Amino acid sequence: MSQFGTEFCDQFAIVRFEDGEWQAPALQALEPLQLHPAAHVLHYASTCFEGFKAYRWSDGKARIYRLEDHIARMQKSAASLRLPVPDADMLADMVIGLVRAHVADIPAPPSSLYLRPTLIGTLANIGAAASPSTEATLFVLASPVGDYFAGGARPLKLLIEDQRSRSTEQLGSTKTGGNYAAALGPTLDAKAQYGVDQVLFCPNGDVQETGAANFLLFNDEEVITKPLDSTFLHGMTRASVLSLAADLGYRINEREFTVDELLAWSTDYEAALSGTAACLTPVGAFIYGGKEIPVRDGAAGPNVEKLRSALQAIQYGDAPDTHGWLTEV
């Protein structure tokens, strides 16, 4: 299979917001978008997106994971950027229609169909730096994908950045491309200098998230993670893992914690990153102060694997969906 996110189905769903209302959505052949060079998105980054998956089970039907939750988060992102907010039912119908048309293109688990709704401001006005885009285009891409990490989920190495933030306080919980652009430079620099996989952003010593995933700690009894606020993304995989951990009897401890506390716990706790693409991926070491600090013995721990397996069992149809997370197509 091609590199994650580079292969696409031959159709996409699209709708435009014009004259103060959403037009009729369409499912059409995948083709380049036509944008005016003055489009708001190209100058003022008025864009947000979502990323989630559909799985094809052994019965031949597809299931979309946490569709309603992702739509709700996209509505919040659109509102924070002052973009036209997509109607929830309209967007759900667009996603479901696209998946229904491409069920046969969904590879069997653990592979899936990655879905990418994207909203962009299209108002042609280069003088609108302090004004919202009153025109927009919403589209949904479908991409058959395999495992995000070629060769499986090996333990990752993270650089602890204890000064800079991944994003701004206002937009940290908005799923907008600018947040990923802001993290790209520090992440690439860290990869080149230290050979790490990601940067764990901990501004002023406050442990937050990496450039593209939430961060959690585990032992046999407890899960520790930062409580939700506006500075970082409210991940659906994070939320799923916390729900499943509670079902399995873990104590859920959403609390602020510092780099010093994190390093003190690293001898006993497992660490992991959570996200749609990476699922729940173990962390094997930190780089901090020029030193490499192992997480436990540096190997993937049993609690991370237990919760990853519990989540994937629901997604793949091997365990009941007691939380109502799946939409059948």
Active-site residue numbers?
175
CA distances from 139 to 23, 26, 121, 246, 267 (A): 12, 9, 12, 36, 46
Phi-psi region of 120 (alpha: psi -120 to 50; beta: other; left: phi over 0): beta
Q: Give the CA radius of gyration of the chain.
A: 20
**Residue labelled with tokens 């780099």:** 259
Whole-number Å distance between alpha carbons of 184 and 192: 12
Whole-number Å distance between alpha carbons of 164 and 187: 12
Contact in structure between 144 and 111 (CB atoms under 8 Å): yes
What is the number of other CB atoms lying within 10 angstroms of the CB of residue 186?
16
Strand extents, DSSP E, the chain: 11-18, 21-22, 26-29, 47-49, 52-56, 62-65, 112-121, 136-145, 156-161, 198-201, 209-210, 214-218, 222-225, 251-254, 270-275, 279-288, 291-294, 326-328
Which helix (H) or strand (E) segment is 246 a member of? Answer: helix 236-247
Q: Which amino acid is at 83?
A: L
140, exposed or middle or buried, with CB in 10 Å at 0-12, 13-18, 19+? Answer: buried
Q: Which amino acid is at 299?
A: A
Contact in structure between 154 and 197 (CB atoms under 8 Å): no
Q: Which two tokens stand for residue 19?
A: 């004259």
